[in-house]
Amino acid sequence: MKIIVVDDEKIALDGMVSAIKKAVPDSEIHKFSKSEDAARFAENNKFEIAFLDIEMRGMNGIELAEILKKNNPSVNIIFATGYNTYSIDAFRLHASGYITKPVTAEKISEEMLYLRNPVEQSTEKKLKVQCFGNFEIFHEGKPLKFSRSKTKELFAYLVDRKGASVNTEQICAVLWDGRDDTPRLRNQVRNLVCDLRSTLKAVGSGDVFVASRNSFSVDTELIDCDYYRFLNGENEVIYYGEYMSQYSWAEMRLGSLMMNKKSD
């Protein structure tokens, strides 16, 4: 979901962006402090929602909304203002919502429930996962980078589990090859979980990682994975006899794949 945010006051602009990130964590946000810049952006870019301050220097929010509507009639306009004198103009433009400042995540979430033009969620899988050969994750054709190498291995382990949940003890045993489960090791797992969550959110795939109290998994429906497609019998997937080659714990899965291949 693409969103633009326009406010000529920096503190208000940053506060609105922060609130939107909390309410809609997987959104792609573009912020502008000048209405004219937002109008130029709209000439060549599509987005589903525009959060606009009304009282701005130069072109105000009402005038900007009229331009945005001309370029994209289905855009959802949500006005954010400390005033209430513009409500008639806002409704004339068929705005989706009207938020009074200060803007909070709760107010954003409420407005998102009543969008005038519903936003269609893309069914395209944003992450492509390669298990055969070396394990790799791609976003928009480029390898996804994590700040910790173990984070990538944690994601590989969750992919290998095919949506089944694992707990901290299991993660420690697999990723650290049977080392004693200590508070220090558990703290390292928490760091990996935070890195995984933030990295996926940054590329709009935060919902791929499913976490609750000491339970972690991936949503297999949201990733394009050669291993999953191979298990589903898709003929175009070629298996070369290698599976997550850089991880020793993956050898057990490789053995079962080879046995299944021989029985075909």
| Phi, psi (degrees; rounded to nearest 5) at 58 | 75, -125
Note the CATH number of domain 2-112.
3.40.50.2300
The Cβ-side half-sphere exposure at 136, using a 13 Å CA radius, reads 10
Q: Domain residues of the chain, as ranges?
A: 2-112, 127-263
From first to last of the 264 residues of the chain, give the pLDDT tens digit: 889 999 999 999 999 999 999 998 878 899 999 999 999 999 888 899 999 998 899 999 989 999 999 888 889 999 988 766 555 555 555 577 788 888 999 999 988 888 888 776 554 577 999 999 999 999 988 999 999 989 999 999 999 999 999 999 999 999 998 777 789 999 999 999 999 999 998 888 888 999 988 999 999 988 999 999 888 887 666 666 789 999 999 988 887 777 665 445
CA dihedral 185, 147, 229, 177 (to 10 degrees): -30
**Which residues 6+ apart lie within 8 Å of 167 measured at CB?**
214, 215, 216
- pLDDT at position 117: 81
Q: Single out the residue of 51, 158, 53 nearest to residue 112, CA to CA.
A: 51
- pLDDT at position 234: 77
- pLDDT at position 262: 47
CA pair distance 138, 153, nearest whole angstrom: 14
- The answer to whether the pTM exceeds 0.85 is no
What is the domain class of 127-263 according to CATH?
Answer: mainly alpha
Relative to beta strand 127-130, strand 136-139 is antiparallel
